[in-house]
């Protein structure tokens, strides 16, 4: 606060070398840098207009000051400090209840999903707050509390203290994505100038975003002609735009041709197919490896996201073609062994027939007798 003290010469003689000093004690103190002692060279005699001088002091009031009247001491001397005259002023100190609502924690809510919201109430006054009632509403009823109402009661909150009020809320799954306004209200007891208890109300607003990101499920669909098809489904609560599917460089697989497919928009619950030409770089073609797939998309707030998914996939090499299977061996090695055995048997039979023919023996034992 600012204290103004009027020092006036009411005598008939001029005053010289006057000294004034403010001597504050608890709960008062001078602001840092403020000079307590002031020198006044001359004060003309009464009724000269310059016979008075207003002294301005900036004073702090301690936050723990009790309510009521407190003495503020002031002294002055007219003869250079040899004789002091002391004055005491009564200063009324009144406490003030004042609260502040801070909305913290989540600012984004995913539709259809329970989310915890925390509102913080701060007592920034110098007196306790009592009988506080906090509540919030959302005009369109898109965001609502779950398993409780929207009101909290706080019996007492000391000066400089704060309290967190927790709510579990949910946003309507069919609500339009965007920014919604929460109306916050806090009512508490306070005292007026006559000491009577009255109600004070604080009203403010907080913004909350409904919408956000989503999630995808990617699965092997089919293979044909050396190409594999991946099924991509939006399994989250929000639509996705500018969706792109990419196969990054990895140890077990090599992409032939384009490694990215632009899908476009994919609403929640929808799916589409992306096709890639992929070969295995693994020596053991019977081993099932995880194919890493990246999904790039833009959420309902315009933020760009990247998700990585892994798909168990097996690539086996056939004759003149690549075929892909998922989660089971292809049987290619077993077929090759069987083919070799058949070829060997044919060669042995042909050799035996040739020997018998050379010796002039009949081939009938091998082919049977004529009808």
Instruction: Say if residue 135 is exposed, middle or buried (CB neighbours under 10 Å; 0-12, 13-18, 19+).
Output: middle
Predicted local distance difference test score (pLDDT) of residue 283: 60
By DSSP bridging, strand 240-246 and strand 289-298 are antiparallel
pLDDT exceeds cutoff 60 at 309: yes
CATH number of 2-93: 2.60.40.10
Predicted confidence (pLDDT) at residue 370 exceeds the cutoff of 50: no
CB atoms inside a 10 Å sphere around CB 289:
19
pLDDT tier at 108 (50, 70, 90 boundaries)? confident
Residue, of 44 and 82, whose pLDDT is higher: 44
- Residues in contact with 16: Cβ distance below 8 Å, sequence separation at least 6, in sequence order: 41, 42, 43
In contact, 14 and 45? CB cutoff 8 Å: yes
The domains of the chain are located at: 2-93, 99-210, 216-325
Give dist(CA 284, CA 317) in Å, integer.
11
* CA pair distance 126, 64, nearest whole angstrom: 7
284 pLDDT more than 90:
no
Average pLDDT over residues 12-17: 86
pLDDT of residue 211: 87
Nearest-angstrom CA–CA distance, 281 and 333:
17
Provide the token pair at 46.
């009464």
Find which of 12-16, 49-53, 134-138, 301-305 is predicted with most confidence, using mean pLDDT. Answer: 134-138
**Mean pLDDT value across residues 6-22:** 89
Residue-wise pLDDT for 174-199, tens only, equals 888 888 999 999 999 887 666 678 88
Alpha-carbon span 181 to 138, nearest angstrom: 6
pLDDT band (50, 70, 90) for residue 320 = very low
DSSP 66-111: PSEEEEEEEEEESSSSSSEEEEEEEEEE-----EEEEEEE--EE-T
Distance between CA atoms of residues 83 and 88, nearest Å:
17
Class of the domain covering 99-210: mainly beta
Looking at residues 207-213, what average pLDDT do you find?
87
From the list 104, 141, 122, 143, the residue with the least C-alpha distance to 202 is 122
Separation CA 36–CA 18 (nearest Å): 14
Rounded alpha-carbon distances, angstroms, from residue 100 to 161, 162, 173, 185, 187: 11, 9, 32, 11, 11
Burial 230-266 (b: 16+ CB within 10 A, else e): bebbbebbbbbeebbbbbeeeebbebeeebebebeeb
For residues 12-22, average pLDDT: 89
| Token duo for residue 6 | 């009027």
Q: Is the pTM of this model over 0.75?
A: no
Residue 164 has pLDDT above 90, yes or no: yes
Residue 9: HSE in the Cβ half-sphere, 13 Å Cα cutoff: 24
Distance CA 57, CA 89 (A): 14
User: What are the pLDDT digits (tens) for 23-79?
Assistant: 999 999 999 999 999 998 888 888 887 788 899 999 998 877 777 789 999 999 987
Phi/psi for 141 (5° steps) reads: 55, 30
| CATH for the stretch 216-325 | 2.60.40
Task: Share the mean pLDDT of the chain.
Answer: 82
- Residue 300's nearest CA partner among 103, 108, 171 is 108
Is the pLDDT at 292 greater than 90, yes or no?
A: yes
| Mean pLDDT (whole number) for 310-332 | 52
DSSP SS3 for 247: coil
């Amino acid at each position: 606060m600012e204290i103004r003290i009027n020092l006036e010469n009411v005598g008939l003689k001029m005053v010289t070398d006057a000294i004034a000093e403010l001597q504050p004690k608890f709960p008062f103190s001078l602001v840092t840098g403020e000079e307590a002692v002031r020198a006044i060279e001359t004060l003309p005699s009464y009724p000269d207009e310059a016979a008075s001088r207003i002294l301005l002091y900036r004073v702090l009031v301690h936050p723990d000051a009790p309510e009521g009247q407190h003495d503020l001491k002031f002294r002055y001397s007219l003869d250079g400090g040899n004789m002091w005259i002391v004055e005491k002023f009564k200063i009324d100190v009144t406490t003030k209840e004042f609260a502040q609502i801070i909305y913290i924690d989540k600012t984004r809510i995913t539709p259809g999903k329970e989310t915890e919201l925390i509102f913080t109430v701060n007592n920034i006054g110098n007196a306790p707050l009592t009988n506080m009632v906090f509540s919030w509403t959302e005009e369109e009823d898109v965001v609502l509390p779950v398993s409780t109402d929207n009101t909290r009661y706080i019996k007492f909150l000391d000066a400089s203290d704060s309290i967190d009020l927790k709510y579990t809320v949910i946003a309507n799954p069919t609500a339009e994505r965007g920014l919604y306004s929460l109306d916050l209200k806090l009512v508490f007891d306070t005292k007026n100038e006559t000491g009577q208890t009255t109600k004070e109300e604080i009203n403010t607003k907080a913004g909350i975003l409904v919408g956000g990101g989503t999630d995808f499920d990617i699965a092997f669909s089919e293979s044909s002609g050396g190409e594999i098809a991946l099924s991509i489904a939006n399994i989250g609560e929000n639509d996705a735009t500018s969706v792109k599917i990419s196969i990054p460089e990895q140890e077990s697989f090599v992409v032939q041709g384009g490694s990215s497919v632009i899908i476009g928009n994919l609403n929640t619950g929808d799916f589409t197919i992306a096709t890639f030409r992929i070969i295995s770089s693994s020596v053991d073609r019977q081993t099932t490896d995880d194919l890493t797939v990246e999904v790039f998309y833009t959420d309902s707030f315009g933020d760009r996201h990247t998700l990585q998914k892994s798909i168990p996939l097996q690539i086996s090499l056939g004759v003149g073609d690549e075929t892909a299977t998922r989660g089971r061996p292809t049987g290619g090695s077993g077929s090759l062994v069987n083919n070799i055995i058949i070829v060997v048997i044919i060669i042995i039979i042909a050799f035996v027939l040739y020997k018998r023919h050379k010796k002039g023996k009949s081939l009938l034992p091998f082919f049977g007798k004529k009808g």
